[in-house]
Chains A and B, each alone.
Chain A
Amino acid sequence: MGPLATRIHTALHRELAAEHIELVDESHMHSGPAAETHFNLVVVSETFDGKRLVARQRLVYGALAAELRDGVHALTMKTLTPAEFSAAAGPVANVSPACRGGSKAD
């Protein structure tokens, strides 16, 4: 696991008491040779309970503010409560789209 991925795990455990994390570095799907720029995340946390998707995603962006600043350009995510996660059948991660070349920094 790369240094940014390690930091993402640490921050999500610390800030959101994440119970389960799936993190895939998808940088190879995008422009340029850089690694650790595009991530696909599934995060399961009780703190999402009763919150709408926008609020949940804001919590994740808040927890990862430093990582977003330090090179994470794109982060596709699923945010679930433990109950939603255990009720889900099959994989829950988003299917990432192909890059179209207009990347860089968001």
Chain B
Amino acid sequence: MGIFNRVKRKLPVVGGGSGSPSTPPGAKAQPGPARPQAATPPPRPASAAPAGGRGDKAVDEFLAEFVQSKPVVLFMKGSPQMPMCGFSANAAGILLSYGVDLASFDVLSDPEVRQGIKDFSQWPTIPQIYIGGEFVGGSDILMQMHQSGELKEMLDELAAG
């Protein structure tokens, strides 16, 4: 399985992506004079993802990269820490219980991603889960795979490479 290599190559795609629509870190927090455009720009902190986590990327391009950005990727309403929908909360809770390396995206922060992921996956509802870059399903399926042991198997397999 080349997923981890693929992940490594594309590592700094987005910094978590679970950000709310609020101001990105660093954007407003410096009341001082604007930073001069020095020849050596200061290193960008990993959390300084562009607003909404997508930046200028076209939605399809962003989604194709984002679903590969971590072994487990979750599109949800809200964040794992503050879910805005019961089904999203269930999905995040299940995935967190396995201690997996998870990238989540809050679809409420980006209407184009909210619609785009439905077209991308051909799946009409949120949340959506990708494992190893492959579409797995929504919260009902994740729950059933959790209960049957299939999810543990899949995650073990992925971790074993």
Contacts and interface: CB of A to CB of B under 8 A. Distances in A.
A10 B98 CA distance: 40
A76 B91 CA distance: 13
Contacts of A58: 122-123
A76 B139 contact: yes
A93 B126 CA distance: 19
A46 interface: no
Nearest to A96: B86
B83 A76 contact: no
Given A96-B86, A97-B89, A100-B89, A61 B77 contact: no
Contact of B85 (A53, A68, A77, A100): A100
Interface residues of B, number: 28
A101 B141 contact: no
B143 A94 contact: yes
Interface in B129-146: 135-141, 143-145
Interface string A45-76: 00000000110011001000100100000111
A78 interface: yes
A100 B78 contact: yes
A54 B129 CA distance: 11
A31 B125 CA distance: 17
Contact of A102 (B108, B125, B137, B141): B108
A53 to B, nearest CB: 5
Nearest to B136: A54
Contacts of B83: 100, 102
A103 B88 CA distance: 11
A1 interface: no
A99 B88 CA distance: 10
Contacts of A98: 86
Interface string A30-53: 000000000000000000000001
B138 A106 contact: no
Interface string B82-126: 011111111000000000000000001000001000100011111
17 contacts: A54-B135, A57-B138, A57-B141, A61-B123, A65-B124, A75-B125, A76-B87, A76-B139, A94-B140, A97-B87, A100-B83, A100-B89, A101-B85, A102-B77, A102-B83, A102-B84, A106-B114
